[in-house]
Each structure stands twice: as C-alpha cells, then as structure tokens.
C-alpha cells in the first residue's frame, strides 16, 4: 500500500514540472528568447560629461576598408558571378613545369605549408642545412657528395608564391665545388643534377601534401595572395595584370586560353597577340563554367573571334587584354569580365 501512495506523488511532481516549463521558457519565462529585444531599445540622450572632466571620442574597433575594385561602376548594376580561386591547379597537387632550360614545381598549397615539408625532405635525405631564411623562402644545403660525380655539389631550394592564390612554386639551384667562386650562379652548373633534385623533392611533396603543417614565419614572409589580378582601366575596360616576365606569361597564357575553351587560330609573338575564337563549354560537360550561361540564347559570345594581347609593363609584369576582332560586335564590359575571369583562373 505504501508503494502505491509514492508512485502517484512522483507522477504528480513530474506533471507539475512539465506544465511549469511554460513559465520557464515562454514569452514571460525566465529563459525567454531575447534575440529581438534590441528592437525595443529606447533612444537615450548622450552622456553629459562634467565640465571639469575630459571627454574621449569613441572610434570604430573594426573599420570597414574602402572598396578598391570598382567594376561596373556605370549604368545599371548587376551582381557578377563568382570566379574560382584556382581553376588550373586543383587536379594535381604537385606538377613540374618547364620553359626552355628552366624548370620548377607548381604546388597546390600555400608557401607556409611547403616550407616545413621541404625541411622534412632535407632531414629525411640526410642533408644538413647551411642556411635557412623562412621569410625569403630559401633553404641551402652543405656540400654533398653526389654518386658518380667527381665534384661535390650544393643545392638551394627557393619557395615563391604561385600565380594563383594559395599556391606555391619551388625552384632548385645547384652549384659545383669548383673553387672558382662561392657565390650562387644564376643558373645551375649541372642542370641534370638540379632536375633530379627537383623531381625528388616534388615527389616527396606530392606524397605528404595531405598532412602539411604550417610555418607561420614562412606564411607571413612569403605572400600567398597570387600574382594575377583583374583591374579596370581609366575608360572602364577590364584587364589582367600578371607578375611574370613576358616569356613565361606568353607560354602560360597559351595554356590558359586552351583550358578556357578558346581555339587559337593565329598568334604573333613579336606583337604579343593571340587570335582566338571562343568555343564555350560543351553541353555534356558538367563543370563550374557551365553555369555562367543557362542557354544558347544567353551565350552570345560562343563562336565569336577575339584578340588577346600581352603588353610588357616591367621586366616582371605584363598586362593581358581581350577585345573582339569585329568592332561592330555587341560586347560590354560584363561579358569581358566573364571571359577574363575564365582565363585568369587557368593561368599558372
């Protein structure tokens, strides 16, 4: 009988607890929703500071910087479609690029992640570090005995920012212990040795890129912002500025045009001009660029001919401009931005 009395009492206590939730979490409860209270806040007069005390002006802690890119500033504004951060590197984390006698590794991670991996490669290979400058992105070895070679060699690893944001470039320089000079040469004394070393470190980076730590010193010293940017001229036309010498920019632009579905019909390297036709994205291709236009009627530039020009700004910078071959063709700055954005995402 005693057990039968306790159970109803407990049941009543639980029932009261449940029904009391309304007073705890309701509109007038202790734990009510206060997310809309700011709308009811009254406007109060400013605090009056006594005459014998100093008043300090309060400033914004997080100031919103002014906007530098002012595209489509004239006429009716239309929100542009987003562009990919890097369209050309994503398929491969590491790949070796060549241009003439020069070669380097293009790496799809930021310089701050490449730096510790190169140090790990040197440690795993038994190389002693003679010099390490994280801010400059330079690692140098002591003299090494290379199998099958009569003279010892030293190697310099230089990590630079890549063309695209969040990518890196790794250059390897080699010198022989000939006794003539201790200064690093402009080009490797033995290009074959430098190429073999670049291949070895590139393979190491490819195998360990998924678990890359970050060096904050290298991350701060070596910019990862990329070397290419879209700008706007005085007349409102958009163009690309690329921080590369002309020879490499010319070769990189050729690959980028082909990857951006432009067909190159002719070229004039001495004038820095490519003649191209925009072929567009095939219907069956399912990629990011296929969303730029929704139908054939919304893709008026397909099949149109353009002139892409490369102009030298300095020894380490060029500009890239795109204009229709037919001056009477309907063409506005928005369409030019979309085409330049495709090219920009594929330059490396």
The residues, ordered by sequence, that sit 6+ positions from 334 with a Cβ below 8 Å of its Cβ are 72, 78, 80
Q: How many CA atoms lie within 13 A of 133 on its CB side?
A: 12
| Alpha-carbon radius of gyration of the chain | 31
Number of DSSP helices (H) and strands (E) in the chain, helices first: 7, 12
Lowest average pLDDT, out of 85-99, 139-153, 248-262, goes to 85-99
Lowest average pLDDT, out of 15-29, 42-56, 78-92, 106-120, goes to 78-92
What's the whole-model pTM score?
0.67
274 token code pair: 């490519």
pLDDT band at 188 (very low <50, low <70, confident <90, very high): very high
Class of the domain covering 228-346: alpha beta
Q: Indicate whether 74 pLDDT > 60.
A: no
260-306 tens-digit pLDDT? 999 999 999 999 999 999 998 654 444 545 555 554 445 567 888 99
pLDDT band at 307 (very low <50, low <70, confident <90, very high): very high
* Residue 298: strand, helix, or coil: helix
Lowest average pLDDT, out of 101-110, 216-225, 302-311, goes to 216-225
Q: Indicate whether 126 pLDDT > 70.
A: yes
Quote the distance between the C-alpha of residue 211 and its chain's center: 19
Q: What is the mean pLDDT of residues 18-26?
A: 55
The residues, ordered by sequence, that sit 6+ positions from 326 with a Cβ below 8 Å of its Cβ are 304, 305
Class of the domain covering 94-221: alpha beta
Give CATH 3.30.310.170 domain extents, the chain. Answer: 228-346
The predicted pLDDT at position 80 comes to 54
Angle CA 269–270–275, to nearest 5: 45
Q: What is the mean pLDDT of residues 20-45?
A: 73
pLDDT band at 15 (very low <50, low <70, confident <90, very high): very low
The predicted pLDDT at position 220 comes to 66
Q: What is the mean pLDDT of residues 23-42?
A: 74
Rounded-to-integer distance, Cα 99 and Cα 203, Å: 20
Give CATH 3.30.310.220 domain extents, the chain. Answer: 94-221
Q: Indicate whether 32 pLDDT > 90.
A: no
Angle CA 246–251–254, to nearest 5: 125
């Amino acid at each position: 009988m005693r057990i039968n009395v306790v159970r109803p009492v407990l049941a009543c206590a639980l029932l009261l607890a449940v029904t009391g939730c309304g007073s705890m979490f309701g509109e007038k409860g202790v734990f009510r929703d206060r997310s809309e209270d700011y709308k009811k806040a009254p406007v109060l007069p400013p605090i009056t500071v006594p005459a014998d005390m100093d008043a300090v002006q309060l400033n914004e802690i997080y100031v919103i910087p002014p906007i530098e890119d002012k595209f489509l500033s004239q006429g009716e504004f239309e929100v542009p479609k987003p562009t990919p951060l890097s369209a050309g590197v994503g398929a491969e984390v590491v790949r070796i690029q060549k241009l003439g006698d020069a070669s380097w590794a293009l790496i799809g991670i930021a310089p701050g992640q490449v730096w510790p991996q190169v140090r790990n490669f040197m440690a795993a290979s038994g190389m002693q570090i003679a010099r390490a400058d994280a801010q400059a992105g330079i690692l140098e070895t002591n003299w090494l005995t290379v199998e099958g070679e009569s003279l010892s060699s030293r190697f310099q690893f230089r990590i630079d920012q890549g063309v695209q944001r969040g990518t890196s470039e790794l250059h390897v320089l080699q010198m022989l212990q000939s006794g003539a000079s201790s200064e690093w040469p402009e080009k490797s004394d033995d290009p074959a040795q430098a190429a073999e070393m670049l291949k070895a470190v590139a393979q190491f980076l490819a195998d360990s890129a998924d678990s890359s730590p970050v060096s904050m010193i290298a991350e701060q010293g070596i910019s990862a912002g990329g070397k290419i940017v879209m700008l706007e001229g005085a007349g409102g036309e958009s163009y690309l500025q690329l921080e590369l010498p002309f020879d490499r920019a010319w070769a990189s632009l050729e690959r980028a045009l082909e990857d951006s579905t432009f067909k190159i019909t002719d070229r004039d390297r001495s004038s820095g001009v490519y003649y191209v036709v925009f072929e567009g994205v095939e219907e069956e291709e399912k990629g990011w660029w296929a969303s730029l236009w929704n139908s054939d009627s919304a893709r008026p530039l397909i099949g149109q001919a353009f002139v892409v020009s490369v102009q030298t700004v300095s020894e380490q910078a060029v500009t890239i401009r795109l204009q229709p071959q037919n001056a009477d063709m309907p063409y506005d700055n928005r369409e030019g931005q979309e085409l330049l954005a495709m090219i920009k995402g594929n330059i490396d």
